[in-house]
Amino acid sequence: MPHPQFTAAAQAAWQERFGEQFTLAAAVREQHGRDESRETPVLPDAVVFARSEEDVIAALRLASEQGLPVVPWSAGSSLEGQLIPVQGGISLDLSGLNRILEVRPGSFQATVQAGVTYPELNRQLRREGLFFPVDPGAEASLGGMASTNASGTAAVRYGTTRDNILSLRAVLPGGEVVQLGSRARKTAAGYDLRGLFIGAEGTLGVITELTVRLYPLPAHVVALRANFGSIEEGAACAALLMGAALQPERLELIDAGEVAAVNEYLGRGYTVAPTLWMEFAAATEGALEGTLALARELCEDSGGTGLETAYSEPERAALWEARHKAYYAITAQHPGHAFLTTDICVPIQNLPDMVAYTAELCREENLDASLVGHVGDGNFHMTFHAAPDDTARWAAIHGVYDRMIAHALEHGGTCTGEHGVGLHKKGHLASEHGDTLELMRQIKAVFDPQGIMNPGKIF
């Protein structure tokens, strides 16, 4: 059903302002009515393609006047239902805001529009010997990454999106533009409103521009891979490596099922065992070799076998292949199935117990689930799957999903380390934050008194 405020007169006003940038085409609306979650698609009433900040201002002014919901959209890679326009309204596509506005190598900064993807930014930065470190895996846009506080494989060394944004511009409902943060690397001036917008999932306003931190490309890099007898052993080794202050660039774990799927998908012969990947960088070859020697020793002491190393970029890419292809391999292995991917994060000392607990839940329910972990952060993902109409299996999946999150919260963890809340985890957010959830609602009401910004999400 169309939103009640999307009348013929309202439609005409959008058409007059945006012309060909405004569309009612069913195929375009279908594209913008879904994301990478298992949520049932909901079509927006219309899609507006913004090409500038001025377009965003005009769209939010018009939406505010008409009382129409607005859902910001860019790459469409969210995993928790953030992009589903559950109340209809306007899907505001920011992928056209795709300019890298300025790179300042001497300050290790770049200013970009919100639709720029992080791989494209890194392609442009390579000539400067710099890179942006946050790598969530998908072709995600920087505005979307800020909205969900995305992280990924390099967060163990460089932090999440929040840690790597110095300032941002955002448009509030009604069209007011705010500049939050500064280009200084640190500040003690006032409330951190910049941080408030990072992770808000588009519920406070629309991010249009960001200034991000950059880092020099590492001089010397080595990757190391080891196999373990159990997923718990691999998690325990990760905690040991972190305790040794080796400061890995990446520290990733996958289970044996993922490796077997990659072998089938790519025709490889990787050892079918829980596998831990480590990557280290240093300013000198001598320092790197010292780090590598200690990492090897700790892996072997933890039960690691089949240790392999790689130094050159092509060699490292080959070593990491199974990790990078794991999700595609699992989905290819189960054609016709629907997939639910979720993440949790716990203090790293609790990680081995959390991994063991989750694995046992899956065994109890006979679920063929797979685990991928950013284990240096205490963060891991579970991918569940079943035929879309297998109600009994989906009930079991959601039961395990709820119990693993409850266990994480009981042990000082969080219901999501990087995916965000969206639609899936609203109940778990209430369990995690309790009385402060009402304070969050009050903050939203200050910025969005009409409740038009991505309604139905988070709370």
In tens, the pLDDT along 19-66 reads: 999 999 999 999 999 998 888 899 999 999 999 999 999 999 999 999
pLDDT score recorded for residue 452:
98
Q: Average pLDDT of the chain?
A: 95
- For strands 130-131 and 215-216, give the pairing: antiparallel
Residue range 220-324, CATH number: 3.30.70.2190
The answer to whether 68 and 27 have CB atoms below 8 angstroms apart is: no
Question: Domain segments of the chain: what residues?
Answer: 8-96, 100-216, 220-324, 327-420
pLDDT higher than threshold 80 for residue 165: yes
pLDDT score recorded for residue 50:
98
Q: What topology is assigned to 100-216 in CATH?
A: 3.30.465
End-to-end CA distance of the chain: 23
pLDDT digit string (tens) for 105-150?
999 999 999 999 999 999 999 999 999 999 987 789 999 999 999 9
User: Which residues are 349's β-sheet partners?
Assistant: none
Q: In CATH, which of 3.10.129.10, 3.40.50.150, 3.30.43.10, 3.50.50.60 is domain 8-96?
A: 3.30.43.10
Exposed, middle or buried by CB within 10 Å (0-12, 13-18, 19+), for 283? exposed
Q: Structurally, what CATH architecture does the domain formed by 327-420 represent?
A: 2-Layer Sandwich (3.30)
Lowest-confidence region among 24-33, 215-224, 420-429: 420-429
Q: pLDDT category, 272, cuts 50, 70, 90?
A: very high
pLDDT score recorded for residue 102:
98
- Note the maximum CA span of the chain: 71
pLDDT digit string (tens) for 321-338?
999 999 899 999 999 999
- For strands 100-104 and 109-113, give the pairing: antiparallel
The answer to whether 352 and 239 have CB atoms below 8 angstroms apart is: yes
The answer to whether 168 and 111 have CB atoms below 8 angstroms apart is: no
Could you tell me which of 182, 187, 144 has the C-alpha nearest to residue 166?
A: 182
Task: Output the pTM of the full model.
Answer: 0.94
| Mean pLDDT of all residues in 164-178 | 97
The single-letter code of the amino acid at 82 is Q
Q: Tell me whether the CATH fold assigned to 220-324 matches the one assigned to 327-420.
A: yes
| Mean pLDDT of all residues in 410-430 | 94
**Residue located via tokens 């588009």:** 202
pLDDT digit string (tens) for 279-326?
999 999 999 999 999 999 999 999 999 999 999 999 999 999 999 999
pLDDT digit string (tens) for 252-268?
999 999 999 999 999 99
pLDDT score recorded for residue 1:
74
